[in-house]
């Protein structure tokens, strides 16, 4: 059970860093965005998601080291 929770926390943390790229590629295909421009705008507006992702990854790593 703990291993599953740890994996879920880690994947949620990684998704916070992967989502800007996925949404950037989508914006590139549907609108006239460049990937770098999208990442800058996303990072400027939604920077707290990176903090949440980093905290989730740290919690998952701490749970692993505790076992």
The pTM of this model reads 0.87
- Output the pLDDT for position 64: 83
Burial of 48 (0-12, 13-18, 19+ CB in 10 A): exposed
| Rounded-to-5 percentages of helix, strand, coil across the chain | 90, 0, 10
- Output the pLDDT for position 37: 96
pLDDT tens digits for range 7-64: 999 999 999 999 999 999 999 999 999 999 999 999 999 999 999 999 999 999 998 8
- Output the pLDDT for position 66: 74
Contacts of residue 2, defined as CB under 8 A and 6 or more positions apart, other chains included, come to: 63, 67
- Output the pLDDT for position 67: 63
């Amino acid at each position: 059970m703990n291993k599953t929770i740890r994996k879920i926390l880690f994947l949620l943390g990684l998704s916070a860093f992967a989502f800007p790229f996925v949404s950037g590629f989508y914006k590139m295909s549907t609108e006239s965005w460049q990937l770098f421009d999208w990442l800058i705008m996303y990072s400027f507006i939604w920077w707290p998601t990176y903090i949440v992702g980093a905290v989730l990854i740290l919690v998952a790593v701490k749970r692993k080291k505790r076992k």
